Amino acid sequence: MKNFVPFVLISGIFLHGCGTDTTAQNAVDRIQNRKAPGYVRVVNMTSGDIDLWYKARRVAPTSPTMDATDMLPIGTGEQTLRIEYKLKPDDKEFKKIEVKTDLTTDVGSSILVMPDHTTKVIANEVRYATADANVHIVPVDAGGKLPATANFTGADTKSVPVKDSQVLFNQGSITCPDGTSIEIKDRIAYSLFIVATPGKVHYILGKNASDKKPAAAGTAAA
């Protein structure tokens, strides 16, 4: 009898340890089996600021005019997002637009907000470069005339047809025809929106994946 109690205690500890290991393994399995989300960005071609919301969460920092946010994770399947803006900066109430998009695992959708606040969705934006392409050329008619070609200089010097296409740019700083400087980095895919407004053709680069490196142990991510 005296030997029975220690045996029970040891058995209990052993079983408790097994339960902990099983719980930990289940958690690891859930993480490994978790489906990667779909991603969303907004491209603002209006004359003012806009915000992109998902439920009660602002998806990205406020987007100024002629700007594209990064791709940010939302979920998969059909999702409803909300765009908020003010017609005048001093307006007290926001105007709201609902946008539905079907999101696919590890692929992005670009929501284009046109000058008249209508929207268009470009689906299946890849996040990482391939051996053949790292930039998606996206021509956008916003009331102006699109050029037939666009000439780029800098880290890469080439003439690119202005049509929906995938192209390969060298890494580094590249100057667009309007004088805008864009930066192309390793591994990442980008979308370059060539937007023709009545007064100007704009070149807006959107980054499709983060270029931040994982934080080392014991440090905070940048």
Specify the pLDDT at position 213: 53
Helix, strand, coil in percent for the chain, rounding step 5: 15, 45, 45
- The CATH topology of domain 36-125 is Immunoglobulin-like (2.60.40)
Domain-by-domain residue ranges, the chain? Answer: 36-125, 127-211
Question: Distance between CA atoms of 52 and 73, rounded to whole angstroms?
Answer: 13
8-67 confidence digits (pLDDT tens): 444 544 445 555 565 655 544 444 445 789 999 999 999 999 999 999 999 999 999 999
Mean of pLDDT over the chain? 86
141-191 confidence digits (pLDDT tens): 999 999 999 999 999 999 999 999 999 999 999 999 999 999 999 999 999
**Mean pLDDT across 72-96:** 93
